[in-house]
A and B are shown apart, each in its own frame.
Chain A
Amino acid sequence: MAAANCWRCLGRPSTQRLLAPSSIPSFKNPTSVAAFTTSATFLAKDDNQERPIEAPGPGERKAFRKRIQLSNDNALKVSGLSELEAQQLVDPTAVGQMASLPTGLVDQLRTIEAFKPTQNWGLFRSPHMLVRKDTVDFLGDMTKRIANKETVRTVIEGERGVGKSMLGLQTMAAGFMNKMVVINIPEAQDLVEARTDYSYIPRTTPEQFSHPSYILKLLQALRSANEEVLSKEIIKLEHIHLPGNLSRNASLATLANVTKEPEFAWPVFNALWQELLQPGRPPIMFTLDGLSHIMRISDYRSPSFNLIHAHDFALTRLFVEALGGKTHFPNGAAIVGVMTKGNWLKDKSVEKALEQARAAQAELPIPERDAYYSKYDERVFEALKGVEVFDVKSISKLEARSLMEYWAASGVLRMRVDEKTVSERWTLAGNGVLGELERVSLYVSRL
């Protein structure tokens, strides 16, 4: 439908215009301008009848909210940065370098849900990460001890937005690159907030519960991310109670894949865990994000209508026993709990337990519990007994510069990156709190 008016101005097509139509790209053929239009009647149709607005389908909203985008085709490609290697994560001279994540590793990390929707992966062409001092400190020590078949039990702590989950991701990346079996619980609050189904595990005293669907999903993610390692290991124990028939020389990957039924998810997961604890297996890395969520009484109820403690769920119990040092790992293991500050219910037991763990680590006198507070949770102290606390700190200006140069090279940060601007942003970001640095640099409007 041709317009009687010009789109940009109020001029009307004159004969002169019609003879020289080159300035109006749409009017290639002057005869296509209709002598009359029906647009007036078209526009005059009854607009009062508004169509009812359809609601989105079930699950559509959550999927939209939780989607993870790892690339942005609009951002410029930053070439010349090396691919991440295992050595780079433990090398003190690599501090401040940006490295791209290899495709295979990205797939593995994505499968176990190491990337979070709140992180800014979607702004850049491909996933890159900064090797920071904390990374090298934490992973260097951890890798050395796991090589000696020790068990590393750590809680990652730090201010809000300082990069705790990101360090967790780097830990998992190191785990994959060092051929460990990586198990990850991406959001601990999913296990306690009564969002997923649960069931009683028969013949357990005190009674224990499992999350059938959640564990099945976890099992499948774990199998597909660790396929390379698991398929090389042959089962050693008898698993007659499991469904299906496992042959004698079936691999652990087959064992993990033996059921698609939620009701058998926990027995299979437990069998896999027992297999991994046999001597001669690859080391285990078990990480959990949002540790403080499982240090409380959950929102689930038992058949007698009592609230269930989070540690009475089989999966959290497995993690908590490993973290508290009750499980013996003959092949070395890294049990890492990442605290969260974004949605944290303050809990005095967790705070005190971590305070005591910090003091023990620094070989200082252990601070005593508040004698006037009666609601300390003994199971929390049990779970955090003897853990190491790793405090994630702010980044230095050098690291900030490296990061900002990467942002600028990607075309996302549109400003000069020099000593002055780096220093300015670093200061604005609370002296190098990484999440705040992203907020002040990548977003024009307040987020």
Chain B
Amino acid sequence: MASKLSPWGACRSLTIRTRSILQHAERKATAAPFHMARRGMADNTTSREPPSGSDGALPPSMAGKASAEQPHTSPRPEQFAPNWLNAEAIARLEQVAAGEDMYDNEEGLKFGVLSQLPGKHDHLQKRYPEVLDQVTKLLMRDGKLSKAQRDMAFILNFLRTSSAPKVSPLRPLLPGAPPAHTLPLDPVAYLTLAIDSVAPLLRIRSMKGMAGGGQALEIPEPMAARQRRRVAVQWILDAVNKKKSKGSGRSMFAHKMAEEIIAVIEGRSSVWDRRQTVHKLGTAARANLNHPALLAKRK
């Protein structure tokens, strides 16, 4: 362990590079030393439009012959790479030069105080996007997660390769949804949009015997996002199980499921009717919120 009083610890973290590295240039020297690292492949649920000229410019290494040597972009070699680690180390050295202790500000901590403490349920990395994780586990039967994951991979692949959906104006999707033609290139967003759009806003809760005469009192209740998604997936699964068998073996179920997802986006799915029924019932049951039995219970 490095002694806190010696400046050599800071010197050790200085790295010398003869040319600048691109990925470090964007990091600001003021960036927090610890931040929640997020995994590029899992967190990318935002859908972007493809570049306007969709032929796309060629990436640099493809344009010419791929050779090992790339010409230096910077005219003179830099002594230290301009990254936040070096900036921090240099700041420490300046602190020492000014006659202060190197770790003046951080009593008893080797690496300083974290600017933002991770919460109890925060993960350093999450393997899958949230919706994907939930839906995969809802597809699981008999505890066979691996099979569910394979099905999910097939579903995403199917969404990616089938042609862009034609959204029906009769069944509008979530406000602010990305344009339909960009959806296939982002299958996770495609799936999320389908599930979130068709998810009901509320559920009907039956309070036993509260309406008087042994009748149940029906009360609409809002649901959390995760609950809403769960209900939507259950409805979709119900619709899928009624479909005719397609293909064989391991991709049969996934194929039907993927087709249902597309049907949801295009407004053809019967799941929309279920949603409408629940919403109608919910609207009617709003009157029960002021039922005397319920008001009495609230007191």
Q: A residues engaging B (CB < 8 A)?
A: 3-5, 7-10, 12, 25-26, 39, 43, 50-51, 53-56, 60-62, 64-65, 69, 72-81, 93-98, 122-123, 398, 401-402, 405-406, 408-409, 411-412, 414-421, 441, 443-447
Contact = CB atoms under 8 A, between A and B. Distances in A.
A409 B185 CA distance: 12
A80 B58 CA distance: 7
B171 interface: yes
Interface string B102-115: 00000000000000
B58 A10 contact: no
B47 to A, nearest CB: 9
Given A4-B280, A79-B56, A444-B129, A54 B161 contact: no
A96 B66 contact: yes
B258 to A, nearest CB: 13
Given A5-B283, A26-B170, A69 B161 contact: yes
A76 B164 CA distance: 13
Given A10-B201, A65-B249, A405-B62, A445 B136 contact: yes
Contact of B184 (A4, A74, A441, A444): A74
Contacts of A10: 201-202, 279, 282-283
Top 5 closest A-B pairs, CB basis? Answer: A61-B248, A96-B66, A64-B247, A74-B184, A405-B59
B54 interface: yes
B149 interface: yes
22 contacts: A5-B279, A5-B283, A12-B283, A53-B244, A56-B244, A64-B247, A65-B249, A74-B185, A75-B185, A76-B55, A81-B62, A96-B66, A122-B157, A405-B59, A405-B61, A412-B185, A414-B186, A417-B59, A443-B157, A444-B42, A445-B150, A446-B153
B152 interface: yes
Interface residues of B, number: 66
B22 interface: yes
B60 to A, nearest CB: 8
Contacts of B280: 4-5
B161 A122 contact: yes
B187 interface: yes
A8 B40 contact: no
Nearest to A69: B161
Contacts of B95: none
B59 A409 contact: yes
A203 B18 CA distance: 78
A415 B45 CA distance: 11
Contacts of B166: none
Contacts of B255: 64
Given A53-B245, A80-B63, A446-B150, 4 more contacts: A26-B169, A65-B249, A405-B62, A445-B150
B283 A421 contact: no
Contacts of A445: 128, 132, 136, 149-150, 152-153, 156
Contacts of B50: 76, 411
Given A95-B66, A419-B23, A421-B40, A443 B283 contact: no
A62 B54 contact: no
B9 interface: no
B153 to A, nearest CB: 4
A60 B184 CA distance: 26
A414 B56 CA distance: 14
A98 B249 contact: no
Contact of A444 (B150, B156, B163): B156
